[in-house]
């Protein structure tokens, strides 16, 4: 069955094209709860972990926040960091964008066709990798 959505990998701040990581001071990660927990569990899926373990220990979200969210902590807090990632994901419907460009699951396309389709909505070169 073809997926009905894409998940988030991360939200990575940069400064003039330089990716920022593990900024000081090291923030404290507070476990997600309530609606934010449900929204992240649906949209920022912790694929390496069972859902029960992921919701309880939150290893991916913690890792992403400590690695990347730490670099915007002077501007936004943890909750805003995750809310922003969710809002950005909602603004761009990648599955629909690919369908508009006649790229559908089950067929083969060039890397350029996929990148060009995504670029029509992101207005920047997407970081696409094949596995």
Q: Residue 81: which of 125, 44, 120, 127 has the closest Cα?
A: 44
Within 13 A of 40's CA, how many CA atoms are on the CB side?
A: 30
Q: Is 101 a catalytic residue?
A: no
Which entry of 16, 63, 64, 113 is annotated as an active-site residue? 64
Which entry of 9, 63, 101, 113 is annotated as an active-site residue? 9
Q: Based on DSSP, count helices (H) and strands (E) in the chain, helices before strands.
A: 6, 2
Q: Is 9 a catalytic residue?
A: yes
Which entry of 16, 63, 68, 101 is annotated as an active-site residue? 68
Phi/psi-derived region of residue 22, left when phi > 0, alpha when psi is between -120 and 50, beta in every other case: left
Q: Is 68 a catalytic residue?
A: yes
Q: Which residues are catalytic?
A: 9, 64, 68
């Amino acid at each position: 069955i073809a997926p009905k959505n894409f998940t988030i990998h991360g939200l990575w701040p940069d400064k003039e094209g330089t990716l920022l990581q593990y900024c000081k001071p090291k923030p404290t990660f507070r476990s997600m709860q309530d609606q934010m927990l449900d929204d992240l569990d649906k949209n920022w899926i912790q694929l390496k972990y069972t859902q029960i373990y992921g919701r309880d220990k939150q290893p991916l979200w913690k890792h992403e926040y400590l690695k990347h969210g730490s670099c915007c902590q002077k501007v936004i807090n943890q909750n805003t960091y995750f809310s922003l990632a969710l809002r950005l994901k909602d603004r761009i419907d990648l599955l629909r964008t690919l369908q508009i460009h006649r790229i559908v699951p089950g067929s083969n396309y060039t890397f350029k066709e996929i990148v060009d389709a995504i670029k029509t909505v992101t207005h920047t070169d997407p970081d696409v990798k094949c596995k």
